Amino acid sequence: MTLAIRPATSADIPAITRIYAHAVEYGTASFELTSPDEAEMTKRMNDLVARKFPYLAAELDGALAGYAYAAPYRARPAYRFTVENSVYVAPDMHRRGVGKALLEALIQDCTNGGFRLMIAVIGDSRQAASIGVHEATGFKHVGVFENVGYKFDRWLDTVLMQRALGPGATSPP
């Protein structure tokens, strides 16, 4: 098993779109209700990359196994040193360390990019695997928004976690 993490490219969009579509259609990691097409996924990736946010792909034995990216946490300027992470793993690639490897690489890239805090907004408090990966990479629980989304005929929570990047808030940026 050879796992490689690298910057995502436009050639990855078909696989990224499939992975995300599965998460939208069958899971609660995303609160979207309709899967975006390849054109929309390309637009989203290009927007983040153009703004210097990391967008990563994981290959496992030559197949795209997952992807991760960082995005602005909020639009207002005071939040400019804080990012929100997103990590998605192909359904047939779970429990192989792909998510953790992507998150670790994303943390490093964001630290190198001068960001100071990473936020995880985990859809559904039942997402034990995602919560566990975040805990294993240094995130701490900071709260739960209860019943903020409605999908699959049930109310869903979001779990909020965070971790410092680099010196965090111990010094000015």
CB contact set of 164 (below 8 Å; sequence gap of 6+)? 116, 117
Confidence of residue 138 (pLDDT cuts 50, 70, 90): very high
Query: pLDDT tens digits, residue range 105-135?
Result: 999 999 999 999 999 999 998 999 999 999 9
pTM for the whole structure: 0.96
Query: pLDDT tens digits, residue range 66-94?
Result: 999 999 999 999 999 999 999 999 999 99
Read off the pLDDT of each residue in 134-145 and give the average, rounded to a whole number: 98
Fold (topology level) of 3-170: Aminopeptidase (3.40.630)
What distance in Å separates the CA atoms of residue 37 and residue 30, rounded to the nearest whole number? 15
Tokens 């566990």 belong to 132
Q: Which of 7, 16, 63, 65 is nearest to 38 (CA)?
A: 16
What distance in Å separates the CA atoms of residue 68 and residue 6, rounded to the nearest whole number? 10
Please return the burial class of 147, using the count of CB atoms within 10 Å of its CB with bins 0-12, 13-18 and 19+.
exposed
Count of C-beta atoms within a 10 Å radius of residue 47: 12
